Structure 1
Amino acid sequence: MLAIQSVSLFAGTKCLLDNANLTLHPGQKVGIIGRNGVGKSTLFKAILGQQTLDAGQIAIPANWQIGYVQQEDLDSDLSALDYVLSGDTLYYQLINQLKKAEQQNDEAAMVALHDQLDHIQAYQVPLKAEQLLFGLGFEKADLSREYRAFSGGWQVRLKLAKALMQRSDLLLLDEPTNHLDIEAVAWLEQWLAAYSGAVLLISHDRHFLDQVVTGIALLEEQRIAFYSGNFESYERQRSMQLMQQQALLDKQKQRMQHLKSFISRFKAKASKAKQAQSRVKALERMEEIAPLQATNPFRFEFFNPDHLPDPMLQIEQVGFGYEVSKPLLHSVNLVLRAGDRIGLVGVNGSGKSTFLKLIVQELKPQTGKLFYAKGLKIGYFAQHQVEALDLDATPVQTLLRNFETITEQQARDFLGGFGFSHDQALSPIRHFSGGEKARLSLAVIVYQKPNLIILDEPTNHLDMDARDALDEALQAFDGALIVVSHDRHMLAGIVDQYWWVHEGQVSLFHGDLDAYLQQRLLLLKQQKLAKTEADTLTKQPGLVEESGLNKKQQRQQNAEQRKRLQQATQTQRKQLEKVNKQLVVKQQRMDELHALLADDAIYQADQLVQLNKLLAEQANCQSQLDELEMAWLVLEEEIEEIVKKFD
């Protein structure tokens, strides 16, 4: 096990940890939480031996391999697939040695290396790498592209995939959901839940933590406090602790009253809102954790709009593409009504950010029109706006430049609600963290008093307190919202309906977020097989037409082609069906084991035997799942090879 014993850590003269302790058992998954700057990332560096301890020790079993995301900025000429494969250092070294032996025609070395590769089941490694890349949103055509050809955000995904490829007993992940879309986050949740090793995970994403971890380690006041269970369990335990602190009682009562008033007001509207019940439940749950919320240093509040035109925006036959020959969006028709709360979903690259830029007129449509209601005022948050802040200006100067009527004292008072102290409000932005810059950009938007707020990944770089404050402010906002976010907790609390950007269209998705993600994950599992079959069947009619056959003959020949293809792959399909059934059974058992390990009671001293038994079963079950998934992929490959023969 990993044992952090009486550890003290300093950053310069600032004490981050003092006599801190934490124990991590094999297979245990623990979320590391705490406000920005408390030392979470520094603790990871200490575990990796990259940071010297000022006191105490960190004991790690000698045979444990640690997997982590390497931060070096490589200008690599490796392909995406080879870059990820290099994460499995044992496999990658043996493959390179084999290539060298082949070049030298060293038969003895080749035989020995093939034996070693067989021993580590090397045939499974490339398939695992492809599965990781597909899960993180890459397409088949991306596998052969060079690492350096990808943008920064996609390079982050490649680094994550490389880390997941490592043969590790302990996985350290620092904010792994940043730069992922919500579909990739959902896939990563499943991957980590099924991972048999131990995990230490830094994250500010509540839903992600709930789905993955069985314990929470809170870094606060230079100590580490451990809470068994997932994040929701932590919130209840922590809230009860805070309720017992008399110093918080008055503030807690005031906070509870505010929440009760808001919930009561919202319920009156909720009967007419789509999918409102989930939001009401989320708000009611806030009552349980009100003492925890009372400690939040941030207090955002969006001004209620003076005017709510209805409809706010009409989109008619809008099309756009960065290349005329390759339209990204076409014939989009939508209406945004006053009070609509929209979650914009779709895989990375589908056109979500482009669609938002069309709405805010940063881009002009190539076809169609957007009709804006009189009095519409849009507040737009996106990462490029954060990066455009004048780094030499102070927060106060930023507000004074943007709003002529505000006084310096009003600016200071207003910025205080966004967590900027007197000194910070007068400090150059250049020295701010990513989260502080994001909060300042949000402050500028709030002061604009918009009636339509558009947010493109607003929670990146925000810690949990800032996310909570933003979440509450958006819940109370009376205007319309359009939000792109990978934070499922935020979306569930503020969104009533979803617009899906898919295959050049933006349309209403009939269902909630869970239904959407289940559909995406199912498509992800089936995409490889479906694509190869579709390619074959769409190619055949073209060949038939060239031969000069009439339409009836074309249909007959296409039908015969499909029949032959079905017969040729019949054995593999039957086996696939059998494997799929086994996968369902094993995944259900994994879900049951995950629930058992999320129970606080299992980590009591008198339950250690049962805990070890469950962890062993989980590891065995995961091994069987891995074998079944590999069998599934092998069958897919066999079907693909047969399909190619029909091309």
Structure 2
Amino acid sequence: MLIPKPREEPEHPKHNKRHQNTTKRVGLTRKARAGNRVGSGCPQEVARPNKAGLHKTGCKEGDSVLGRPPLMLTLRDVTKTFNARTLFGGANMTVNYAERVALVGPNGAGKSTLFSLILKEDEPDAGEVIRDEWTTLGYLPQESEPVGDETILDVATGKAGEMERLEKILREHEERGDVSAPEYNEAHSKHDALNDPQAEAKCKKILKGFGFKEEDFNKPAREYSGGWVMRAHLARLLVIEPDLLLLDEPTNHLDLLSLMWFRNYLKNYPGAILLISHDRDFMDELIETVYEIEESKLVQYQGNYSEYLKQKEENWDRAYQAWKNQQKEIEAMQEFIERFRSVASKASQAQSRERQLEKMEKLDRPRPLRKAFRFNFPQPQRSGQRVIALTDIHQAYGEKKIYQGLDLEIEKGERTVLVGPNGAGKSTLIKIMAGEVAFQKGERRFGTNVKMGYFSQHRADTLEPELTILEELKRCAPELREDDARSILGSFLFKREDVYKKCKVLSGGEKSRLNLVKFLVDPPNLLLMDEPTTHLDIWAIEGLILALQKFEGTLVFISHDVHFIRSLATKVLHINAGTVTPYSGGYDYYLEKTGAEENARAAVIAQ
């Protein structure tokens, strides 16, 4: 990735601290002037478009429109179709300097397509996508490309492969004696910026905020999981500080501690943020404007996610009441017309009402609001009071010791969440409970009548490959009516003809969701769940919460979704360095006792 030398720019409006964007521009590529991709699957740095891309509003850097900051991004009457389906039809949207915006809508509504239009990776069928001439964009996709031998620090600073390329350009120009060429000067500036010690120091602080340790910086990135590499790419964008951050599900690979740090860091971010997320708490803490994709339009709501939900419901109530009142009026007019049409003294009035009715602009009945799916799932068999006990557990992966002498008991009816930094042993602990991983010493004992079920994103071997989705669900719950089965599957994003797809052709995410539904219709009395919300949209998550709140068995789970945790957890187990510390209360009780929130805030301030 390319890093030009910072240049002086006009100041942004100073209506609050976030708008005082005086940050140095490090890491902004001129190669991407037209919005070209810089490294597929990696965070994208998009430089300022050329003059031809200047929007037509006449709004320039530093101008104010009706007292607001100037526009960075405008979508004007955008239309886009995909596979004969209209995703957007005359959609409009604006993003102002330093504004925090969420883009919401069901899976498949077109959120990622909209990002592609903004990044100029795709073109609208009609309408305009206008970026301010001075605006720099940074993009984090959901998935990153595989990495090679570059270090974590190289990925985060942008040095990966770039130094060699720049040095080749410099060497070729010097050999030709062509050191006054613009290409030489630009390469020289970028080479200097890559070696800027201040940028590297900032990068290291951000990496630590994301959970990396000092000893991780110079290790090859290929030794780390995709989630950890994605954190390094995300650190890269925060070092660059583009004017507009486009983030597509940025919290997917973060543990709770790094998520808290990231959220607090973004609160002080000097640029604007356009976010796609299914993390309700994250949006509530950060967002001030919501755009919902609804019936091919972009509908704007002011406020955070919870305020958007409230406004949407109020708008629906008003629309429904207006429709209902009009229906009463129409019914009364029709009754009058039918009653007096043949009455000489009233015939003219009846005709007048008939003309009035014909001219009336009829209101459409508003579509029902999408709600979290409610279904009375069956309850499991009752277990004994002690559900599972681990005694003197010793577990290691090779030379790496995870647990040494662990003792733990889970009791009936507890809803326990495992928290702690990535790599601390949360997934290992839940796998020990499930019998999915061996331990070298100790004992695992189940209580009376315990039936255990284990859900993981990477476990799909329970599906019959030749059965359809609907058949697979009916296989584990034969008494389930087909209408109910289709409704349940629909709420977990299996729509219409999807239910007839064979299990062998399903993606990893689809297999994960199907396994989740199977647990709900035929529940064990001990449910072990590792990141159950990853492949769900917000409404499916709400449906899962409602089902688990009614669940009368015992639940042990791992999640980075704070709203999900707050809604369910009655007990918290904090895991770090092989030590398990219990907190017999909900998530907020855990935060209060540990000061985790304050520590995350202090870590940001210290930077």
Normalising by the residue count of structure 1, what TM-score does the alignment of the two structures yield?
0.67
Match of residue 339 from structure 1: 413
Paired with 1:114 and 1:370, the residues of 2 have a C-alpha distance of: 62
Q: Say if 2:387 is the partner of 1:316.
A: no
The change in CA–CA distance for 1:161 and 1:308 in structure 2 (over 3 A counts) is same
2:119 aligns with 48
After superposition, the Cα gap between the structure-2 partners of 1:98 and 1:142, relative to the gap in structure 1 and judged at 3 Å, is: farther
Residues 555-574 of structure 1 mapped to structure 2, 5 A cutoff: none
1:386–1:238 CA distance, 2 compared to 1 (3 A)? farther
Match of 1:177 in 2: 251
1:303 deviation in Å?
Answer: 2.2
| Residues 1:26 and 2:97 are matched in the alignment | yes
Q: Which residue of 1 aligns with 2:471?
A: 397
Change (3 A) 1:211 1:395: same
Q: 2:527 aligns with which of 423, 434, 453?
A: 453
Change (3 A) 1:117 1:34: same
Per the alignment, do residues 406 and 61 of structure 1 end up closer, same or farther by CA in structure 2, a change over 3 Å counting?
Answer: closer
Matches within 5 A, 1:413-492: 415=489, 418=492, 420-421=494-495, 423-429=497-503, 432=506, 436-492=510-566
Residue deviations 1:135-181, cap 9 Å, x none?
11212221111122222222222222223333411110000011211
The answer to whether the 8 Å contact 1:298/1:469 transfers is yes
CA distance in 2, matches of 1:147, 1:314: 38
Q: Is the 8 A contact 1:67 1:164 kept in 2?
A: no
Deviation, 1:380, is 1.9
- State whether residues 115 and 246 of structure 2, in contact with CA within 8 Å, keep that contact through their aligned partners in structure 1: yes
**2:133 is equivalent to residue 78 of structure 1:** no
Cα gap change, 1:197 to 1:292, in 2 (>3 Å): farther
Q: Deviations over 1:622-641 (max 9, x none)?
A: xxx7xx73xxxxxxxxxxxx
Distance 2:133 2:160 in 1: 19
**Does the CA-based 8 Å contact 1:88-1:167 persist in structure 2?**
no
Residue pair 1:29, 1:200 contacting (<8 A) in 2 also: yes
CA–CA distance in structure 1, aligned partners of residues 231 and 261 of structure 2: 13
- Once residues 227 and 467 of structure 1 are traced to their aligned partners in structure 2, the CA distance between those partners, rounded to angstroms, is 22
TM-superposed CA distance for 1:386, in Å, is 4.2
Letter in 2 for 1:216: V
| Pairing 1:101-500 to 2, within 5 Å after superposition | 122-246=196-320, 295-296=370-371, 298-323=373-398, 325-386=399-460, 389=463, 392-402=466-476, 415=489, 418=492, 420-421=494-495, 423-429=497-503, 432=506, 436-500=510-574
* Contact residue 94 and residue 117 of structure 1 kept, 8 A: no
Maintained 8 Å contact 1:88/1:166 = no
Between the aligned partners of 2:433 and 2:529, the Cα distance in structure 1 is 12
Query: Deviations 1:180-226 (Å, cap 9, x if unpaired)?
Result: 11111111101111111011000111100011111111111111111
Q: Which runs of 5+ in 1 are unaligned?
A: 251-290, 526-579, 588-624, 630-647
Shift of 1:521: 6.2
What does the per-residue CA deviation read over 1:226-256, in whole Å, with 9 as the maximum and x for residues that have no partner?
1111112112111211222439999xxxxxx
Further displaced range: 330-339 or 31-40:
330-339
Specify the code of the residue in structure 2 equivalent to 1:321: A
Q: 1:49 to 1:498 in 2, by over 3 A?
A: same
Q: Distance in 2 between matches of 1:295 and 1:398?
A: 26
- Residue 609 of structure 1 aligns with which residue? none
What is the CA deviation profile of residues 446-473 of structure 1, one whole-angstrom value per residue up to 9, with x for unaligned ones?
Answer: 2322112221111112111101101111
1:616-635 mapped onto 2 (5 Å cutoff) = 629=607
8 Å contact 1:343–1:495 — kept in the other structure? yes
Displacement of 1:438: 3.2
Q: Is the 8 A contact 1:238 1:292 kept in 2?
A: no
Deviations 1:15-56 (CA, angstroms, capped at 9, x unpaired): 101100011101111011110000000000000000111110
Relative to structure 1, the CA distance from residue 120 to residue 29 in structure 2 (aligned partners, 3 Å threshold; closer, same or farther) is farther
Output one character per residue of 1:471-492: Cα deviation in whole Å (capped at 9) or x when no partner.
Answer: 1111122222112111001111
| Contact map agreement 2:491 2:543 (CA 8 A) in 1 | no
Match status 1:60 vs 2:131: yes
SS at 2:517 equivalent: helix
Residue 457 of structure 1 contacts residue 485 of structure 1 at CA under 8 Å; is this kept in 2?
Answer: yes
Q: What code does the residue aligned with 1:316 have?
A: T
Per-residue CA deviations over 1:372-413 (Å, capped at 9, x if unaligned) read 012111232111124774555311232355467778787557
**CA distance 1:156–1:111, change in 2 (3 Å):** closer
TM-aligned CA distance change 1:402 to 1:475, over 3 Å = closer
- The residue type equivalent to 2:149 in the other structure is D
Query: Which deviates more from structure 2 when the two are superposed, residues 60-69 or residues 15-24?
Result: 60-69
- 1:501-512 counterparts in 2 under 5 A? 501-509=575-583
Taking only the aligned residue pairs, the percentage that are identical comes to 32
C-alpha distance in structure 2 between counterparts of 1:93 and 1:226, whole Å = 46
Kindly indicate whether the alpha-carbon contact (under 8 Å) linking 1:69 and 1:162 is maintained by their aligned counterparts in 2: no
Question: How far did residue 365 of structure 1 move?
Answer: 2.6
Residue aligned with 1:321, SS? strand
Does the 8 Å CA contact 2:452/2:525 hold for their aligned counterparts? Answer: yes
Question: 2:327 is matched with which residue?
Answer: none
Q: Does 1:11 align with 2:86?
A: no
Between the aligned partners of 2:186 and 2:84, the Cα distance in structure 1 is 55
The whole-number CA distance in structure 1 between the counterparts of 2:186 and 2:548 is 63
Q: Which amino acid aligns with 1:351?
A: G
Matches of 1:249 and 1:367, distance apart in 2: 69
The Cα of 1:305 is off from its aligned counterpart by 2.3
Q: TM-score, normalised by structure 2?
A: 0.71
Read off the aligned partner of 1:195 and give its amino acid letter. Y
In 1, Cα distance between the equivalents of 2:545 and 2:211?
A: 27
**Counterpart Cα distance in 1 of 2:552 and 2:459:** 24
Q: Is the 2:389–2:446 contact (alpha carbons within 8 Å) kept by the matching residues of 1?
A: yes
Secondary structure class of the residue paired with 1:76: coil
What CA RMSD, in Å, does the superposition of the two structures yield over aligned residues?
A: 3.7
1:162 partner amino acid: R
Count residues with an aligned counterpart: 486
Per-residue CA distance 1:562-611 (angstroms, 9 max, x = gap) = xxxxxxxxxxxxxxxxxx9xx9xxx9xxxxxxxxxxxxxxxxxxxxxxxx
Equivalent position SS for 2:265? helix
CA contact (8 A) 1:210 1:230 kept: yes
C-alpha distance in structure 2 between counterparts of 1:313 and 1:453, whole Å: 11
